[in-house]
Structure 1
Amino acid sequence: MLRRGQAVTRGERGAEFRSYYDRPVIKPPVWKVPDVPAYLYLGGMAGASSTMALCADLTGRARLARAGRAAAATGTTASVAALVHDLGRPARFVNMLRMLKPTSPLSVGSWILAPFSALSAAGAVSDLTGLLPRWGRAASTTAGVVAPAVMTYTAVLLADTAVPGWHEVYRELPYVFAGSAVASGAAVGLLAAPGDEGPACRMAVAGVALEFGAFERMRRRAGMVGEVYEQGRVGAVLRAAKVLNGLGAGAALFARHSRAAAIAAGACLTAAAVATRYGIFEAGRVSARDPRYTVVPQRQRADQVIS
């Protein structure tokens, strides 16, 4: 017998569970749009651009290195600004740096982002002004080494929550973010470094391939929670991202011989990366609002343990 206000929802294979007034079982994320999707995209782009700049420096591609450093500094500064705006007060971000808690992805991520932002800015300013070139080069090199963590820590941050759309795909999500970041970094090189597009072209193809493969594996392994990545507005956005990624990677193959193709590839890859981060973020929010995605997977895991 149901109590007043209880609603019964039928899950997979007839399983039923109750939700008071159709309210979510867990509290949906309070993070805002566009702040957090922008934070996710900008951080990934900045990390990939920094690594691209480091590799370009090592191979003597000055134009590509300068574009990567500028994008890394601009992207990570804007990423921090978006995060602070979502938090509401700058003091809240500063408070996260008061201590390092290794068991907290948010704490570790803050300690990755803050030094990376400072190092990227120092390297870009030195490159632009010509001041303290050795120190600037050291800052850029260190930022490039730290950059892979910047590209992926936000995926760990999302997956460490109770939100089923993120937590159920914790194995694959960092690879999806890494592929998306590499593709968005490649877009910077394609757009801002004419004449040095070669490495950016290869980055574009590799990033898109990694994102495609990881996303398909993520969707298959997510079980019923994978529905949130295929339905409604989220599904439309992610399908658009897939098409844009394919167009961007295809155009990148011709970018070394055509400036128009390089610009088209960079624009498509950038739009795809933005759409991917927004779609994944919104999928998590959708899954948190529907009690089925929290309760049914839990019951399935419990049944497996019992059996």
Structure 2
Amino acid sequence: MSDVTRRGIRGERPGRQASGGTGTRTRRRGGGGEQAMVPAPEFTSYYGKPVLNPPTWQARDIAGYFFLGGLAGAGSVLAAAELTGRERTARALKASSAVAVTGSVAALIHDLGRPERFVNMLRVFKPTSPMNLGSWLLAAYGPMAGAAAALEAAGRLPRTGRAATTTAASLGPLVSTYTAVLAADTAVPAWHDGYRELPFVFAGSAATAASGMALLAAPTAENSLARSAALFGVTLEAAATRAMRRRLGMVAEAYEVGTAGRLMRAAEALSFAGAAGAALFGRRGRAASAVCGACLLAASACTRFGIFHAGMESARDPKYTVVPQRERRKERRRRAGGDEQPRDRRKEGK
């Protein structure tokens, strides 16, 4: 081992000297001095490992849970169309919402691994936990949607069925969008950084899915509401998605590459085709209406699965976690420096 003494370095080993700053550039300033110009370092992580532990969720379970929950919640809202005389549309949407919420809960329980884990979440009420509130929301909505569909099919207790339909419709918007809050509450960059727009993306996607189901199942004479809902859902989803990508910056790459990119592009094409076809040809026959409805359902599913895969990709790649953090830190320092200058001027004035 080497040691530093008054007479210099003792025990120095050859070839162990520090490098003399290879690659550093200098630039002459106006006063004749020099300022070191070091190239910006490239981003790397320890051994190329992810900064975050990617979620262990499976696409079939969680993305399916997102899609079916949106279909159920928005379908219950459109099922209130029975108040306007669209009874066959309401009957079909009540049945689809009951089936969808059952599949959504089944997918969630399958991801949890054991059914009792879902029941255990109902042992407490924790407003700060989106998962806990979502469990309570499903526990309240599911029986109402099931009762509305069962009583409609049986043709009995019309007042009770109408009350169940109204209750399910009032809870429907929350059911179709709370999963966006659940995803944004995680540390996954593609979800967390889009917390402002993601609920609107899910709301638009849910309206797209419900309108597609209505176009598939309802008669042509009653599909005017479904066509309006399709235009609303597609427009809201497209606007919210574009705003989210613009605000995400480099993290938006996760929505544009790989499996997520292919799914999001397919969702855009299918939603445009379904909404345009419904507006132009939805009145002409059941076949055209059904094709448009199938396109809208597929578009909503592609959106949910695309968002899921984008989140998983952003969690695996460490640059989506570290680089935005550095940019935000630089921005805070820049703003802090800009705020300090006026205060110094005021002091000088005093």
The equivalent of 1:105 in structure 2 is: 130
Paired positions, count: 294
The equivalent of 2:116 in structure 1 is: 91
Q: Is the 8 A contact 2:76 2:94 kept in 1?
A: yes
The structural deviation recorded for 1:276 is 0.5
The structural deviation recorded for 1:14 is 4.0
The structural deviation recorded for 1:18 is 4.3
Q: Which amino acid aligns with 1:191?
A: L
The equivalent of 1:160 in structure 2 is: 185
- State the SS of the aligned residue for 2:45: strand
Runs of 4+ in 1 over 6 A off after TM superposition: none
The equivalent of 1:268 in structure 2 is: 295
Q: Does 1:25 align with 2:54?
A: no
CA distance in 1, matches of 2:316, 2:70: 27
Q: Deviations over 1:75-106 (max 9, x none)?
A: 10110001111111111111111111111111
Could you tell me which runs of 5 or more consecutive residues in structure 1 were left unpaired when the two chains were aligned. Answer: 1-12
The structural deviation recorded for 1:125 is 0.6
CA distance in 2, matches of 1:142, 1:15: 57
Q: Does 1:289 align with 2:341?
A: no
The equivalent of 1:218 in structure 2 is: 244
Q: Does 1:193 align with 2:218?
A: yes
Q: Which amino acid aligns with 1:225?
A: V
Q: Which amino acid aligns with 1:123?
A: A
The equivalent of 2:284 in structure 1 is: 257
User: If the length of structure 1 is used for normalisation, what is the TM-score?
Assistant: 0.93
The equivalent of 2:8 in structure 1 is: none
Q: Does 1:174 align with 2:199?
A: yes
The structural deviation recorded for 1:163 is 0.3
* CA RMSD between the two structures: 1.2
User: Taking CA–CA contacts closer than 8 Å with sequence separation of 6 or more, which of the two structures ends up with the larger relative contact order?
Assistant: 1
> Which deviates more from structure 2 when the two are superposed, residues 285-294 or residues 231-240?
231-240
Q: Deviations over 1:221-246 (max 9, x none)?
A: 11000001111221111101100001
The structural deviation recorded for 1:130 is 2.2
The structural deviation recorded for 1:179 is 0.4
- Do the aligned partners of residues 140 and 15 (structure 1) sit closer, same or farther apart at CA in structure 2, a change above 3 Å counting? farther
Q: Does 1:231 align with 2:231?
A: no
Q: Is the 8 A contact 2:79 2:91 kept in 1?
A: yes
The structural deviation recorded for 1:283 is 0.3
Could you tell me which runs of 5 or more consecutive residues in structure 2 were left unpaired when the two chains were aligned. Answer: 1-38, 335-350
The equivalent of 1:151 in structure 2 is: 176
- State the SS of the aligned residue for 1:116: helix
User: If the length of structure 2 is used for normalisation, what is the TM-score?
Assistant: 0.82
The equivalent of 2:91 in structure 1 is: 66
Percent same amino acid at aligned positions?
55
Alignment of 1:28-47 (within 5 A): 28-47=54-73
Q: Is the 8 A contact 2:144 2:165 kept in 1?
A: yes
The structural deviation recorded for 1:16 is 4.0
CA distance in 1, matches of 2:136, 2:312: 26
CA distance in 2, matches of 1:288, 1:84: 23
Alignment of 1:235-250 (within 5 A): 235-250=261-276
Q: Which amino acid aligns with 1:42?
A: L
Q: Is the 8 A contact 2:278 2:289 kept in 1?
A: yes
